[in-house]
Amino acid sequence: MANTLNRRNWIKSSALMAGGLALASGTINKLAAMPVVNKSRLITNFEAEREIMANAAPGLKARLFFNENPFGPSPAAKKAIIDSLDLSYQYIFPQIRQLSSKIAAYEGIQQNNVMLSAGSSALLEAAALHYCKGGKTVITGETSYDDLPSHAVRGGGKWVKVPLTKDYKLDLDAIEAKIDDNTGIIYICNPNNPTATVVDTDKLKAFCERVSKKTMVFVDEAYIDYLPDPKSTTLMANVKAGQNIIVSRTFSKLYGFAGLRCGYIVAQPETISALSLYTNADANLSSATVAAAIAAYQETDFLKDALAKTLASRDFLYATLKKEGYDYIPSSANFVMFPLKMDGQKFVGEMMKRGVGVRNWKMNGTDWCRVSIGRMDEMEAFAEAFKQLS
Ligand SMILES: Cc1ncc(COP(=O)(O)O)c(C=O)c1O
């Protein structure tokens, strides 16, 4: 864990050293405005994930811990990376504009509603630090993705956790009931990580319309591309309607860019300028990544193909679990949660010994496993190892 935090600080300080001479004074002011973060150690699933990532053995038969897409990036994205190399000595402001205008045109919003970053994580962090400063609270589901609330707590904020419904969905009514004068932000992960459940779209839209009059709502749509019709589920229309909400997206999942690092938020322009005090946002993007993202954005054939392969692997996993007598939560994303019949850590360790990386969770006092959906050969490796343990 210490490594994780140290690595983060190291990245920040070396970026400062490397960029020191070239930093515009505006950037220096932004960095000076960053709050002092309380670095108390916090053991969360998010930090555990970082730790596992850092130590993941190379050469695993199946890398099923991080909800990555092994079918990406697309051939067009790879070609764009290679083509971008000759001019990679140049800064890329026009290309960043080109990418954000492509996103804005597709979503029917203005370019000043879009904030890009090297992955969406930095934007989750910025929102946590801004909206929870001064001891404000973040309200989340329990269990949900804990990156944003972890940063909130590190920044001195408080974290209010609201149990999921019986069918493992975010309980919007219970979340709304927790709002008080000290609420800084509500974090809604839809589809939710790690349960892979979605909330009813109309209900979420109405929730955001109401609640955003009292507090900021952050809707994390990292996995929305795995739904049959993301356009009908997204909360972009609520941003367009001028509401006080932030919608985040990432290229790390269906686009297969987890290592390339590209994500963005869509929000009101004043929200974006407030968050720009906490992050260098698009200044951290590389020319290779931006070129790849321009080539890959809404590349329908590739996305459909990656989705079809993911769903085939997911069906295979469902069949494997059923065959071995296990239940699972039906998934709306590229991962599946199922309850274990043994200690979670022991299970993960035994699977790892067999070359299969998966994650474990404690939820409602039960041990659960989260399996990311990989290539079919990876799912077969999972099935083979699982049979030996079930
Ligand atoms: C729900 C959710 N949001 C955000 C992220 C962060 O993604 P990235 O920083 O790669 O864009 C993840 C990563 O797994 C995630 O699961």
- The predicted-structure confidence for 230-247, as pLDDT tens digits, reads as follows 999 999 999 999 999 999
> Quick one: CA torsion of 349, 353, 355, 357, rounded to 10 degrees?
10
Judge whether 15 lies within some domain: no
Judge whether 6 lies within some domain: no
Tell me the pairing of strands 366-372 and 359-363.
antiparallel
Phi first, then psi, for residue 162 (nearest 5°) are: -115, 125
Our answer on whether the CB atom of 144 is closer than 6 Å to any ligand 1 atom is: no
**pLDDT band (50, 70, 90) for residue 59:** confident
Our answer on whether the CB atom of 222 is closer than 6 Å to any ligand 1 atom is: yes
Tell me, yes or no, whether 263 and 209 share the same domain: yes
* Contact in structure between 190 and 224 (CB atoms under 8 Å): yes
Q: Which of helix, strand or coil describes residue 54?
A: helix
Q: Which of 140, 145, 373 has most ligand 1 atoms within 8 Å of CB, for mutation?
A: 145
Q: Which of helix, strand or coil describes residue 114?
A: strand
Measured by CA distance, the residue closest to atom 2 of ligand 1 is 222
Our answer on whether the CB atom of 119 is closer than 6 Å to any ligand 1 atom is: yes
Judge whether 262 lies within some domain: yes
Tell me, yes or no, whether 158 and 109 share the same domain: yes
In the chain, the number of structural domains is 2
- For 46-50, 134-138, 202-206, which range has the lowest pLDDT when averaged over its residues? 46-50
Judge whether 184 lies within some domain: yes
| Number of DSSP helices (H) and strands (E) in the chain, helices first | 16, 12
**pLDDT band (50, 70, 90) for residue 46:** low
What does the mean pLDDT of the chain come to? 89
* Contact in structure between 107 and 266 (CB atoms under 8 Å): yes
- For 35-39, 264-268, 296-300, which range has the lowest pLDDT when averaged over its residues? 35-39
Our answer on whether the CB atom of 120 is closer than 6 Å to any ligand 1 atom is: yes
Mean pLDDT of 294-309: 97
Our answer on whether the CB atom of 69 is closer than 6 Å to any ligand 1 atom is: no
Mean pLDDT of 268-285: 95
Judge whether 102 lies within some domain: yes
Specify the CATH number for the domain of residue 365.
3.90.1150.10
pLDDT at 279 over 60: yes
Query: What pLDDT, on the 0 to 100 scale, is given for residue 364?
Result: 87
47 CA → ligand 1 middle, Å: 13
- For 49-63, 70-84, 219-233, 258-272, which range has the lowest pLDDT when averaged over its residues? 49-63
Residue 52 in tokens: 């596992």
* Contact in structure between 328 and 336 (CB atoms under 8 Å): yes
223 CA → ligand 1 middle, Å: 9
Our answer on whether the CB atom of 145 is closer than 6 Å to any ligand 1 atom is: yes
* Contact in structure between 173 and 220 (CB atoms under 8 Å): no
Tell me, yes or no, whether 326 and 270 share the same domain: no
Measured by CA distance, the residue closest to atom 15 of ligand 1 is 222
pLDDT at 1 over 50: no
**pLDDT band (50, 70, 90) for residue 137:** very high
Q: Which of 144, 147, 247 has most ligand 1 atoms within 8 Å of CB, for mutation?
A: 147
388 CA → ligand 1 middle, Å: 32
The Cα angle at residue 269 between residues 88 and 119, in degrees rounded to 5: 40
Closest CA to 133 of 162, 115, 153, 150: 153
Tell me, yes or no, whether 209 and 263 share the same domain: yes
Q: Which of helix, strand or coil describes residue 39?
A: coil
Judge whether 28 lies within some domain: no
Of the residues 261, 296, 331, the one at which a domain ends: 296
Measured by CA distance, the residue closest to atom 3 of ligand 1 is 222
Closest CA to 18 of 287, 291, 279, 283: 283
Tell me, yes or no, whether 219 and 289 share the same domain: yes
331 CA → ligand 1 middle, Å: 17
**pLDDT band (50, 70, 90) for residue 382:** very high
Of the residues 246, 273, 296, the one at which a domain ends: 296
Specify the CATH number for the domain of residue 146.
3.40.640.10
Q: Residues for the chain: how many in total?
A: 390
Residue 168 per-residue DSSP state: S
Give per-residue pLDDT as tens, 204-214: 999 999 999 99
* Contact in structure between 256 and 226 (CB atoms under 8 Å): no
**pLDDT band (50, 70, 90) for residue 390:** confident
Query: What pLDDT, on the 0 to 100 scale, is given for residue 49?
Result: 62
* Contact in structure between 190 and 230 (CB atoms under 8 Å): no
Tell me, yes or no, whether 60 and 106 share the same domain: no
Alpha helices in the chain (DSSP H): 2-19, 25-32, 45-55, 75-84, 93-107, 121-131, 147-154, 172-177, 201-211, 230-233, 236-240, 269-275, 287-296, 300-323, 344-353, 376-389
Our answer on whether the CB atom of 140 is closer than 6 Å to any ligand 1 atom is: no
Our answer on whether the CB atom of 67 is closer than 6 Å to any ligand 1 atom is: yes
pLDDT at 310 over 60: yes
Percent of the chain scoring above 70 in pLDDT = 85
For residue 90, the one-letter residue type is: Q
Residue 226 in tokens: 């795995």
Of the residues 296, 312, 328, the one at which a domain ends: 296
Our answer on whether the CB atom of 188 is closer than 6 Å to any ligand 1 atom is: no
Query: What pLDDT, on the 0 to 100 scale, is given for residue 10?
Result: 31
Tell me, yes or no, whether 166 and 79 share the same domain: yes
Judge whether 225 lies within some domain: yes
Per the structure, the complete domain to which residue 322 belongs is given by 45-70+300-389
